[in-house]
Structure 1
Amino acid sequence: MQKHLGAWRSLTGRERAAQAPFLWIISTGRPAAVLDGLRVTPMAGWPAGVYEGPGLLRTVVVVLGELPRERSTLLIRLMGGGRVLREAIEDLRRLPEDAPERAIAVGPLLRFRAAITGHGPATPEEEEFVMTTQELVEQFIEQGRKQGMAQGLAQSTIALYEARFGSMPPALRSAVEAMRDLSTLQKWNLLAGTGKREEVDDAFSAGAAGRSS
């Protein structure tokens, strides 16, 4: 609160018309003394677990353990600990490989895990985090392996096509490079080596249309 009020004072000192900042307090568990002391109430239009203080304080308290366990709260629940973090990591593992939440969260989680394992877990909480994220690491490795295979098949397919038919049209090249399904790429690779140009073009075009629909 002191930092919040100090930042507020500094801001208005530079620009009196500036909008006062909000303070967001994030807690894994329920900080009863803070909630009582700030006289907070459930924040209208927000999910359970989000509380706002008196208007002049411009302060919000988020109790991660009370947030609904749903996809919309996943990224902020990953900031918690204990049960909250375990459940959030489990929810993250269950998302599709191309989920935007994975792109945002997996990198920082694995970097934090690497930092812990580099010096050895120092607390029970760190040890639990390492164990909880093991399956996430395995998924990340497998995803990388599949991506590498997909890229290799895509480049092989393009090379086969151009060896037989000449330069591949840019739209078809983009379709092949964007495809990540291994079974589809294997079929395309075989077709590029054995099929007629019209058949190959139609298959690649259909694949591109399917991805965009």
Structure 2
Amino acid sequence: MTRFLHDQFAKDYLEELLTPYGTIQSSRPVSSEVREVDLWFSPHPESTLSPDSLGLLARAIQTPAIFEPFRNPATTREIRDCLLKLLEIDAELRRESNRQVSLAPDTSPPHLWILTPTASRTLLGGFGATLDLESWPRGVYFLPPQLRTIIVAIHQLPRTPETLWLRVLGRGRVQTQAIEELEALSPDNPWRANALILLNRLKAHLERNLNPDWEDRQLIMRLSPLFDQQLEAAQLSGLQQGLQQGLQQGLQQGLQQGLQQGLQQGETLVIENLLRFRFGEVDEELAQIIQAILRLPASEFTPLLMQLSREELIERFREE
């Protein structure tokens, strides 16, 4: 159960980071047997993503890519399974090529990126994986060229901004350090807020586990202050805007009426700002549940707005 939560976080996290730059297919089925790749990425032809933005991850998505993230160290068998999926995809694309004059841009053969928190020398050597330190940092291992496969041993990655977005998917101290660096980024960073939201969602899911292991308990403790800071910032922003708007109207209609109206509008704006902070905009479906959310006190609705997904919120408050 716990491993599934971390695997789902990894897929959600990568999907959130990469969606602006290409087409994402999560759990894409592969023919012949019931197999799925975790994440299939096809870059937009017009996308021009600078390596300065997502660092090593930006370099990985210059061409179509399959991402297979592992919470626990990838085993020999699991890597073989990943390679088998890649070979089956190659066969599928060849069949498609035979039916067309040429491959469409989004069906070009992808590279396979296996993201593992650790990898032993024995495992890497067994697959003929080698470093390319002239072009790539330590921790990025390349299998023979015809296999188009890269194994990223996250624990070996240097602690630099270039590797930050991959180190978030590590374990233990590696992941904790990455979270600290993520927290220290400017609030204007376009990926920081979404990454923190996904980490807080992971925290909420882990807290529901009745028997978290030691490592998960440590992660929950590390993420708790982050959640409190986000909550406080979102509440403060909403209250400030709500009270300011309400008080301005109140000066026109009378101080007493304006204060009451300001508080009411302040709560509404708190909810709207939290929804906008989480999902980018308040669309028609989200707008329809605001009144139902207002029936709860702020101490109850605020954690729900920060932790539940869009679909969970709509389902929860549509019944109110």
| Common topology (TM > 0.5) | yes
Residue 155 of structure 2 corresponds to: 65
Q: 1:77 touches 1:84 (CA, 8 Å); kept in 2?
A: yes
Residue in structure 2 matched with residue 40 of structure 1 by the alignment: 129
Write the letter of the residue equivalent to 1:45.
S
Contact 1:92 1:101 (C-alpha < 8 Å) held by counterparts = no
- State the match for 1:185 in structure 2: none
User: 1:15 aligned to 2:97?
Assistant: yes
3-state SS of 2:141 partner: strand
Aligned partner of 2:204 among 96, 100, 114: 114
C-alpha deviation, 1:160, in angstroms: 8.7
| Alignment map for 1:58-207 (pairs within 5 Å) | 58-152=148-242, 155=245
Alpha-carbon distance, 1:157 to partner: 8.1
Structure 1, 65-74 or 22-31: larger mean CA deviation: 65-74
Offset at residue 55 of structure 1 (A): 0.9
CA RMSD of aligned residues (A): 2.5
- Structure 2: any 5+ residue segments left out of the alignment? 1-82, 254-320
* 1:26 aligned to which of 109, 112, 115: 115
Contact 1:50 1:63 in 2 (8 A): yes
CA–CA separation in structure 2 for the residues paired with 1:143 and 1:68: 32
Counterpart residue number, 1:53: 143
- Structure that is richer in strand per residue: 2
Residues in 2 aligned to 1:113 and 1:49: alpha-carbon distance in whole angstroms: 27
The alpha carbon displacement at 1:66 in A equals: 1.7
The partner residue of 1:2 within 76, 79, 84 is 84
**How many Å apart are 1:154 and its aligned residue?**
5.4
Q: Percent identity?
A: 33
3-state SS of paired residue (2:191): helix
SS at match of 1:15: helix
What is the CA–CA distance in structure 1 between the aligned matches of 2:211 and 2:226, rounded to whole Å?
Answer: 18
- Per the TM alignment, residue 153 of structure 1 is displaced from its structure 2 partner at its CA by 5.6
Q: Which moved more, 1:115-124 or 1:83-92?
A: 115-124
In the alignment, the residues of structure 1 paired with residue 213 and residue 180 of structure 2 have an alpha-carbon distance, to the nearest angstrom, of 21
Deviation at 1:46, TM superposition (A): 2.4
1:15/1:94 CA distance change after superposition, 3 Å: same
What does residue 172 of structure 1 align with?
none
Query: Which position in structure 2 is the counterpart of 1:167?
Result: none
Q: Is the 8 A contact 1:92 1:102 kept in 2?
A: yes
Cα pair 1:22 1:58 within 8 Å, conserved: yes
Cα offsets for 1:45-77 (capped at 9, x unmatched): 222221211110000111111222222322211
* Structure 2 letter corresponding to 1:136: L
Give the letter aligned to residue 28 of structure 1. P
Mapped contact 1:40–1:52 kept (Cα < 8 A): yes
Classify the secondary structure of the residue corresponding to 1:23.
strand
Q: Which runs of 5+ in 1 are unaligned?
A: 164-213
What is the rounded CA distance, in whole Å, between the counterparts of 1:55 and 1:154 in structure 2?
61
SS where residue 87 of structure 1 aligns? Answer: helix
Give TM-score, length-normalised by structure 2. Answer: 0.46
Using the TM superposition, name which of 80-89 and 43-52 deviates more. 43-52
TM-score when scaled to structure 1? 0.66
In the alignment of these two chains, the number of paired residues is: 163
Instruction: Write out per-residue CA displacement over residues 143-170 of structure 1, whole angstroms, 9 at most, x where no aligned residue.
Output: 212322342365358759999xxxxxxx
